Each structure stands twice: as C-alpha cells, then as structure tokens.
Amino acid sequence: MELSKKYADLLDKDDVLSSFRNKFIIPEKEGIQRTYFLGNSLGLQPKTTSNSIDYILHQWGNEGVESFFNGERPWMDLHDQLLGPLSQIAGAQKQEISVMGQLTINIHLMFVSFFRPEGKRHKMLVEAKAFPSDQYAFTSYLEHLGLNPADHLIEIQPQKENSAIQDEDIIAAIEKHADEIALVFIGGVNYYTGQLFDLERIAKAAKSAGAMIGYDLAHAIGNAELKLHEWGVDFACWCSYKYLNGGPGAVGAIFVHDNHLHNKQISRLNGWWGYKKEERFKMHKLFNPAPDATSWQLGTPSMILYACLKASLQIFEEAGWKAVLEKQAKIRSFLALSIKELKSPIFTCLTPDKRGCQVSLLFHEKGRQVYDRLFEQGFMVDWREPNVIRLAPVPLYNSFNDIWKFHHSMKEILASV
C-alpha cells in the first residue's frame, strides 16, 4: 500500500461499495460536499429515511391505531424486520436481540438482571474513564442498591496517562479479583481513544472467573466484527445513531444470550410491551414474558424511530456486512499510513492498531488551531477536551480519496501552524 492520490483513485475504482456513498445525504457548505468523518458521533442520514418516516405518518393518518394490525406493513411486525440485519452485525441469534429504549436506560435494565451482588461476590469491574453516561449509570446503580462505589467498583486504569488500557491488564484484574466480581462491564470500543478491546478474551476470562459479562457496544456496533452469541456474552447494549445511522436519539437495542431467555431466576423490570406478543392486548394482570429478548421491553416503541433504523439497515443488507468489514480494513490501513507519514512532533496517535473506524490524535500543542483549520477546509472531525481530535472514516460513505485529501490538508496545516 502506498500513499498517493493515484493509489487512492485506484482503491476507489476497485471499491465494490463506492456507489453506496450516494445513498446518504452528505453535508454541504456553499454547495460543496464536506468530508464527513463523524460516524463515531452521528452517522449520516440515508436518503430513504424521510420516505420511511413518511410511510409511518401516512399509516397513522389513514388508519390511526389500527396501523398496528392492518395494511401491508402492520406496525406490530416492524420490530422483527430489524432483527435479520442486526443479528448479522452483532453476531447474535434473532431471538437474542430486542430493539428498544435508549442506551443508558437499557444499561440500567441490564444491571437489574445481571448485576446480582451476593456474599463475597459483590463488585463490578469496569474501565476507568468509560463514556461518562456509563460512569453515571454504574455509580448511581450501586448507590441505588445502597453500595458505596468506592468499595464495589474495580476500575482498570491505563498504564500511563493518555494511553489505551491494555487487554492484558483487564484480564489480570479479572483473575486477581475472580472471587469478588459479580459483573464485568466494558465498552467494546473506548469512545476517547478508539481502542477496540479483545471482547472474546475478556468474555472468556469473566466466565472463567464465574462473573457475568456485559458490553456497551455504542462505538462497536456497525464498527467491528462481533460474535456475541459465540463468545458467550451475557448481555450487551448499544445505541443506533453512530455507525448504524439511525438518526439523532435513535432507538437503542439489547442483546441477551439465549442461555438466559428461559431462566426464571433472572430478575427484570417488566412493562406491557415485554408481554408475550400473542396475548399482549388481552391485558392480563400477571406478567407472562415473551420467550425472547423482547421480554425486556417496557413501553410502546416509537414506530418513527424504528422506521429510521430500518432505512439504514436495508443499506447494510444490500451492501453485505462482510463487504463492509473488508472495506473498513483497507480504510484503516490507508488512514494509518496517512497519519504515520505526517511525522509531526506536535501530536501522537492515541489509538492502538486494534481498532475500528475511529482514530484519536492527541495534540501536545496547537491542537485547536489544527482542528479549526480542518473545519475551515471542509473536514468534519470532532474536538475532545482538552487536546484530542477524533476522526472516523466509515466504509459506507467515505472514500479513499477522502483520506488522501485529509492527509494532504493536514500536511499543509501542520507546516503552517
């Protein structure tokens, strides 16, 4: 692989997914498309999203509440139409996924079921500097149980400041505290560094220690190859507005391993939409759960949010998940070469080789100036305080020429700041 405009053109010419860029609305400034590297924050809008929403509105207008049951596409069936592509992306069985709620709400629901402190086994092992909402969730949940987070949290720190946590350190901590851990809860990809953890190894270590294992996959779903069922992961939660392009505030989802779906000892908070589907509208007093992960659903879901996610998942189905991963690997290598060849002393790449789309650049000086200049030149990246620029070229709508243009612009900017 070489770093040149000619080679970027060749890669784009051979890219079987190059046409999929045209399925998304690319932000523009003064009629010129910007280079969007923010799939790690909010994925782009598929061009079919508005039609997908309009269809729901049309049903609502014509049929009212009967839209749940009538017509060619009854709302009662919409959830199940999302499970095929999601099961491929998550490496799960369809019955193990429920599309529901929002990420942090779902994390709390999963803690109810899978964090069961008892006796000596009463601690939760987490990564230090997890996404803030995760930190708020696990500390507040412990406090809700009357437990002091200082006594019941094991936080894995990086070996040095401004570096990624090593998988080996997580494994070592699990083994060291094996008798104390009730739950290992890790983010699949760290939002700040972009590091993709070895989720298979961590799951194996947690199970060997006798602990439950759960993942926040907000930055991993649609961004990494996952095999949640095969790895024996107990549960996982994710949002759908990043790499899954489900829109701002998109509906979230959970994974619950098949091993737990019929376990009557599992506790959960119940709501009427988790009732057995065939009898849901009989309004029985006693709860009869659905025989799959939808039993964790609470209230009636938004059909509009389902429609948004469906528009994107249809693109994933058409592209093929394997093809998406193959292109991502090439983009990752081309971007890594691009950053390496910049050879600038004012920044360091925070992100280890094991990663998805995202790369995080730690600036020792002038980082905000570089960010502002990039934005002026049409590159949509993001700034994380105090001194990190994150960018995430996404296979479905970014090209190799996008990366070449980024390299060329960065070279000029770094020479002038």
Q: What is the DSSP letter of 324?
A: H
Contact 383, 371 (CB under 8 A): yes
Q: Is 308 helix (H, G, I), strand (E, B) or coil?
A: helix
Write the CB contacts of 347 (distance below 8 Å, at least 6 apart in sequence).
361, 362, 363, 364, 367, 370, 389
List the CATH code of the domain at 53-317: 3.40.640.10
Phi then psi for residue 58, to 5 deg, are -65, -45
Query: For the segment 344-363, what is each residue's pLDDT rounded down to a tens digit?
Result: 999 999 999 999 999 999 99
Structure confidence at residue 397 as a pLDDT band (50, 70, 90): very high
Full-model pTM:
0.95
pLDDT above 90: percentage of residues in the chain? 93
Which residue is associated with the tokens 């993709």? 196
Query: For the segment 64-114, what is each residue's pLDDT rounded down to a tens digit?
Result: 999 999 988 999 999 999 999 999 999 999 999 999 999 999 999 999 999
Query: For the segment 16-61, what is each residue's pLDDT rounded down to a tens digit?
Result: 999 999 999 999 998 999 999 999 999 999 999 999 999 999 999 9
Rounded average pLDDT over 276-298:
91
Going by C-alpha positions, the residue among 226, 199, 218, 259 that lies closest to residue 91 is 226
d(CA 180, CA 176): 9
Contact 235, 113 (CB under 8 A): yes
- Listing DSSP states for 42-80 in one string gives -PPEETTHHHHHHHHHHHHHHHGGGGGTSSSS-GGGHHH
Structure confidence at residue 195 as a pLDDT band (50, 70, 90): very high
Contact 107, 134 (CB under 8 A): yes
Q: Is 305 helix (H, G, I), strand (E, B) or coil?
A: helix
β-sheet with 347-349: strand ranges across? 347-349, 359-363, 388-391, 382-384
Query: Which range among 45-59, 278-292, 401-415 shows the weakest confidence by mean pLDDT?
Result: 278-292
- Reading the block at residue 402, the tokens are 């996008």
Structure confidence at residue 238 as a pLDDT band (50, 70, 90): very high
Which pLDDT belongs to residue 295?
Answer: 96
CA 378 to chain centre: 26
The pLDDT of residue 402 is above 80? yes
Domain locations in the chain? 5-33+321-416, 53-317
Which pLDDT belongs to residue 277?
Answer: 87
Query: For the segment 241-272, what is each residue's pLDDT rounded down to a tens digit?
Result: 999 999 999 999 999 999 999 998 899 999 99
The pLDDT of residue 188 is above 90? yes
Q: What share of the chain is helix, strand, coil (3-state, %, to 5)?
A: 45, 15, 40
- Reading the block at residue 324, the tokens are 């998406």
List the CATH code of the domain at 5-33+321-416: 3.90.1150.10
The 10 Å Cβ neighbour count of residue 122 is 18
Structure confidence at residue 336 as a pLDDT band (50, 70, 90): very high
Contact 147, 120 (CB under 8 A): no
Q: Is 181 helix (H, G, I), strand (E, B) or coil?
A: strand
The pLDDT of residue 282 is above 90? no
Phi then psi for residue 338, to 5 deg, are -60, -45
Rounded average pLDDT over 194-221:
97
- Reading the block at residue 284, the tokens are 């029985």
Radius of gyration of the chain (CA): 22
The pLDDT of residue 328 is above 80? yes
Structure confidence at residue 163 as a pLDDT band (50, 70, 90): confident
Q: Is 230 helix (H, G, I), strand (E, B) or coil?
A: helix
Q: Is 38 helix (H, G, I), strand (E, B) or coil?
A: strand
Structure confidence at residue 283 as a pLDDT band (50, 70, 90): confident
The pLDDT of residue 161 is above 80? no
Which pLDDT belongs to residue 159?
Answer: 84
